[in-house]
Every structure is written in C-alpha cells, then in structure tokens.
Amino acid sequence: MTLQPVLGEIILAITASQFMLLTGLSKSKKRPDLIRLMAVVGLLAFAFVGFVTDRNVTETFGGAFINDDFARYVKLIIGLAGAAAIVLSRNYLRSERLDQYEFSVLLVYAVLGMGIMVSSNDLLTLYIGVEMQALALYVLAAFNRDSLRASEAGLKYFVLGALSSGILLYGASLIYGYSGSLRFDGIALALQGDYGPGLVGGMIFLLCGLAFKISAAPFHMWTPDVYEGAPTPVTGFFAGAPKLAAIALIARVLYEPFGDLAEGWTLALMVFAGLSMVVGALGGLMQTNIKRLMAYSSITNMGYALVPLTAGTLAGVAGMLTFMTIYVVTVIGVFACILQMRIRNGIVEQISDLSGLAETNKGLAITLTVMMVSLIGIPPFAGFWGKWFAFGPAIGAGHYFIVVLALVASVVGAFYYLRIIRLMWFAEANEGFVAAPRIERSFSLVSAVLLLAMGILPFITYPGLNLIRDAASSLFG
C-alpha cells in the first residue's frame, strides 16, 4: 500500500495535530501568528502536493481513497480558499478579542475533512470525511463563546447537521444492504444486475444528506441563521470551500456508482436546483443583514451549480467546476471587503451601513461593486462566464425549463445586488461608518482583492479549461 495519494491529508493532519497543537502549549504572545503561518503553509502544501507527485498513482487503502485529477483540482481550490480565510481573519479576530490559536487548528481540520470527502471512493470514507468537516465547522460557527447569536448558530448547525448525518447514514446502510458493497465500483456493479428498490431509495437518502451540506432547498433552513450568527470570517469560509467540497462529492457519487441511474437522479437534481434558485432569489429580497443576504445568495448559487450536473455529461461536470471556482473566489472577495469595514459598534452587518461607502473609501467601493456585478453575471465579468459554462451543458441536454428558471432567478437576484451598489454610490454616507484604519488611506488591500478577483480569469482561458476538463474526465474513466 502506498501513502502517496493521501500525502496532502497527511501533511494537514501532522500540521494540525503536532506542530500547531504543540506550539499552542507555549506561552508566547506571538503564538496565534505563528500557528496562523503554519496553517497557511500546510494548506498551500495540501493544495499543490497532488500536482508535484506521481499522478499515475491514484488509489490507496484498498481503493477506499482515490486521488485522481478531479480530487486534485478540487483540493487545489479548497486549500487556497482555506489559506485565504485564515489570512483575512487576522484583523477581525484581533479586533473582536477572539485571536485564539484554536481557530486555525479547527479550520485546518475542516479542510482535512473536505479533502477526504472529495477523495472518497467508498461509503465509509465518505462518512468519515463528511463528519470530520462538520464537527470542525460546528465549533467554528460558535467560536465566539460570549455571543448568544454565535452559540445559537453553532447549536442550530449541530442539531440539523446531526439530522442530515442520520439521513445520510440511513441511505448508506440501504445501499450497502442491497448492493453488498461499500466500494463505489461494487455498487456500480450491483446496478448492472437485478437490484431492489432499496438501492434507489438509499441513493435518494444519501443525496438528501449531501444536499444539506450545500444548503440546497428544501434543506437550506439552517443557512441564514448560521451565517448571521457565526463570526464574519467563518461565514465567508462557509460560503466557499465547504460548498465546493460537498458538491464535488455529489458529482462523484452520482456519476461513478450511480451513473446507470442517471434518469432518476437527474430529476432529483432538477428539483433541488429549481427550489434552491426560487427560495434563494425570493428570500434575498427581504433581507437587511448582509450576512443573511449572502446566505440566500449562496442558496441560489448552489442551485446554479446543480444545473450543469443535470446534464449527466462530462461537459456538465466541467461546467460545475468552472462555476464553483469563480463563485468561491468571488465570495472570498466579497467577505474580504466586508471584513475591512467598521461602524462604531463593531463590524458592518446591516446593508444600510454601506450607504455612501464611495465617499468614505472609493477603492473599497469599486472592489465590492466588481464582486457584486460578477455575482449578477453581467459580461464581461467572471460571473457571466461561470453561468455561461454552467447553463450550456443543461441546454445541450434539452433541459430548457431549468435553464429558463435559472435565468429568471438571476434577474430577480440582481435586484438585491444592485441595491447594495446603489447604496454605496448614490446614498448619503453613514456617519457611523469607518473603514479599517490600516486601509482608510491606502489601496494596498483593495489592489490585492482586485488581483484576487482577476485571478479567476485564467480559468476561462484554454490552459484553465484544459485543467478543468481533465479533472472532469477522471470521473468518466
């Protein structure tokens, strides 16, 4: 047995359980910064190690763990998103007196769970990855122990997450009982012979459990409350990397073991996508809290991400990866901007607090405007290309209704993004608003965020598309 395919996860496990925790026992005042640096280095190593090792060696642990091109690409984005979340959280944690080393440790463990998720090749590995990620995220949601909202968010997330885990486990038990195998290839083999209705029912239960992880309606009820109550850097992290890991796992589960049941799960995905787009678009119209607004935006965008998967083709998986890459980077940019703004009572949370931002800090207003326009999907911004590659495969498969619904949801959702832009540029400045002192007169962070936003452009060029196409191809053998 070779450990090369699991090398990235070994790096994260050693980084979190040895270096970071042992360093945490020291009494140095620079302890949080040192552990933050360790976490960022470990996450960057995790992101790139799959591309510098032998890519012909893909399986280990008896085939239960697979590190193919699909897993490598998703881990690249997840690792970079995790590193960005740690870097962007530094000033917030200090200002809120939450700068504890455990934050970085928990985030690394969450990314470790995501890595196991996207590389799982049997039901047991799948469950281990899902629960390792979830347990770390439950604690991160309630990281501010002195906040009633944060404690409530963590408790709601834990209770509903436990329910979803039960649904997922029940589905896995049905699948194992009717197929006689935990391995994905064994399940696919069982589907080629005579199989009972329990196997299909198990797939539906498994899919429902995973739909909770991406906030797909009707399993979205936890999202607005958890996003609002959790610390802002945690909310930004929730909106990106965990969603990519979960939807990548959904793609692997549906396209590999259940590929022969495409007609059944295609309808289920269309229902999840349609409900998510409607609930997210309409729910966001009534929000006054920017974190709750981003929660409903996340629900809508997960609906968009499910649209290409309904095609059941290689182009559909590639479209999902392209859309999710652009979405993850864009949402990191949005929360990076939010974390740089303050009002006299603390961090900016109300949408009305953004009034007149262009007068207070024009660079920050430009950056946030670019992000919002990208989320709307207006060309030539990157969000447009994300939707272009997402909706194209569904059109090719003849799923015109779901694409039309997605376009209508995009138009409705544009209203609340444009409302933010209007407040920033045309409303009177909020007297209680101040930008973070370090960037009030400086464009350094604004420039960095803009470069981060522009960094997604290579993914719509030929080298980027080839990388995504190779990743998608690995699901099809």
E-assigned strand segments in 124-209: none
Mean pLDDT of 49-61: 84
- The b-or-e profile of 246-276 (16+ CB within 10 A means b, else e) is bbbbbbbbbbbbbbebbeebbebbbbbbbbb
Q: What is the DSSP string of 60-92?
A: ETTTTEE--HHHHHHHHHHHHHHHHHHHHHHHH
| Of 347 and 403, the one with more pLDDT | 403
Question: Can you tell me the distance from the alpha carbon of 287 to that of 298, in angstroms, rounded to the nearest whole number?
Answer: 14
DSSP 260-313: GGHHHHHHHHHHHHHHHHHHHHHHHTT--BHHHHHHHHHHHHHHHHHHHHTT-S
Segment 408-422 mean pLDDT: 92
The pLDDT-based confidence of 95 (bands split at 50, 70, 90) is confident
pLDDT band at 296 (very low <50, low <70, confident <90, very high): very high
Largest CA distance in the chain: 70
Task: List C-alpha distances in Å: 477 to 51, 172, 315.
Answer: 19, 24, 14
Once rounded to an integer, what is the mean pLDDT over residues 104-125? 94
Q: Copy the structure tokens of residue 44.
A: 């960057």
382-396 vs 400-426: helix crossing angle, rounded to 10: 170
Question: For residue 246, is pLDDT > 70?
Answer: yes
The pLDDT score that the predictor gives to residue 442 is 38
Tokens encoding 134: 């979830």
The arithmetic mean of pLDDT across residues 295-313, rounded, is 94
CA dist., res. 450 & res. 89, Å (int): 18
Structure tokens, 269: 């995905």
pLDDT-above-70 percentage for the chain? 89
Judge whether residue 138 has pLDDT over 50: yes
**pLDDT number for residue 139:** 93
Instruction: Give one DSSP letter per residue of 388-402, joined into a string.
Output: HHHHHHHHHTT-HHH
Q: Which residue type, as a one-letter code, is found at position 386?
A: G
On the CB side of 425, how many CA atoms lie within 13 Å of its CA?
13
In this prediction, residue 430 has a pLDDT band, given cuts at 50, 70 and 90, of low
Q: Helix (H, G, I), strand (E, B), or coil: what is residue 25?
A: coil
Where do runs of H (alpha helix) occur along 377-440?
Answer: 382-396, 400-426
- pLDDT for 27-38, tens place per residue? 667 777 888 888
**Given pLDDT bands bounded at 50, 70 and 90, which one contains residue 440?**
very low
Range of 228-232, 339-343, 349-353 with top mean pLDDT: 228-232
Given a cut of 70, is residue 1 above it in pLDDT? no
* pLDDT score, position 344: 59
The yes-or-no verdict on residue 76 having pLDDT over 50 is yes
**8 Å CB contact between 101 and 82:** no
Confirm if 97 and 147 have CB atoms less than 8 A apart. Answer: no
Q: What DSSP state is assigned to residue 382?
A: H
Q: What is the mean pLDDT of residues 156-174?
A: 93
pLDDT of residue 69: 92
What one-letter code names the amino acid at 26?
S
Q: Of 139, 88, 77, which Cα lies nearest the Cα of 109?
A: 139
* Separation in Å, CA 296 to CA 55, 153, 278, 283: 38, 16, 10, 6
Using alpha carbons only, how large is the chain's radius of gyration in Å? 21
HSE of 319, CA atoms in CB hemisphere, 13 A: 25
User: Chain-wide mean pLDDT for the chain?
Assistant: 86
Q: Which residue has the higher pLDDT, 14 or 193?
A: 14
Q: How far apart are CA 143 and CA 153, in angstroms?
A: 10
